[in-house]
Chain A
Amino acid sequence: MYLGLEAALGLLLLASALIALRLKNLLAAAVTLSVFSFISALIYLVMGAVDVAFTEAVVGAGITGVLFIVVLFHTSRRSID
């Protein structure tokens, strides 16, 4: 129905996933992962799955983002590159 919108969101999704993979800074990668889950929530919304989109937004952006950041604060870099 909204083919152009879906295609644009899909490209954004792919771009955010690749950026999250390529980033060296782990905190920035965790934030990019929550961007990824927000964009996938928007895709679910465009496809009409409102409940799934709601769950993805709450869990992906709220809970797992917090848990990733908390775990990251307890790690340290061993190598400097």
Chain B
Amino acid sequence: MTSSSRNPILITASRLLAPFIQLFALYVIFHGHFGPGGGFQGGAMLAASILMLRLSVGAERSELKFRKSWGTPVGALGALIFAGTGLLTLLLGGRFLEYHFLPLPDLSRAELHSAGILLIEVGVSLAVMAVLVAIYDDIMEGSGGG
């Protein structure tokens, strides 16, 4: 927040915890089609780790991890990955998100499905993470706080 004195225990704990939260979020994203989890949950966890850093070490230093100006571009990139995968299969003769029309060589039908779902989940997680962080940044900016 705007308080000048920051608690060193909070800073150290959140800086130690953040990489592990992000690692687990990546596991959730990339293991999403075998177990519980997926793009939305992983993206929300990535956003939660960044918001934890924003709250504890302050906006200036947590911008080293994720800049305020990246919110809209990264969110748009995630939406582009999602829609691009769907439209690519549409262009190559299938229907929207019909994964086995993806132009990846030497992959069987089941492997193409797996790869397509992975692309979708990466796109969804990027979009969710960027938009949730952007909502927080907009709230802080609108109130004039740091």
Question: Which residues of chain A have a CB within 8 Å of any CB of chain B?
Answer: 50-51, 54-55, 58-59, 62-63, 66-67, 69-71, 73-74
Task: Provide the bound-state CA to CA distance between A9 and B50, in Å.
Answer: 31
25 contacts between A and B (CB under 8 A): A51-B38, A54-B28, A54-B36, A54-B37, A54-B41, A55-B40, A55-B41, A55-B44, A58-B44, A58-B45, A58-B48, A62-B51, A63-B51, A66-B48, A66-B51, A66-B136, A67-B135, A70-B55, A70-B136, A70-B140, A71-B139, A73-B1, A74-B139, A74-B143, A74-B145
Residues in B lying within 8 Å of A, measured CB to CB: 1, 28, 36-38, 40-41, 44-45, 47-48, 51-52, 55, 132, 135-136, 139-140, 143, 145
Closest chain B residue to A56, Cβ basis: B41
A51 and B47 CA atoms in complex are apart in Å by: 18
With the chains together, A70 CA to B139 CA distance in Å?
8
Q: Which residues of B contact A67 (CB under 8 A)?
A: 135-136, 139
Contact of A62 among B28, B45, B135, B145 (CB under 8 A): B45
The closest CB in chain B to the CB of A70 belongs to B139
Q: How far is the CB of A76 from chain B (nearest CB, A)?
A: 12
The smallest beta-carbon distance between A23 and chain B, in angstroms, is: 21
A62 contacts B44, CB within 8 Å?
A: yes
Measured in the bound complex, the distance between the Cα atoms of B28 and A50 in whole Å is: 13
Chain A nearest CB from B78 CB (Å) reads: 17
**Best-buried of B36, B40, B55, B140 by chain A (most CB within 10 Å):** B36
Asked if B47 contacts A63 (CB within 8 A), the reply is: yes
CA distance in complex: A63, B55 (Å): 12
Q: How far is the CA of A78 from the CA of B48 in the complex (A)?
A: 31
| Closest Cβ neighbor of A57 among chain B residues | B41
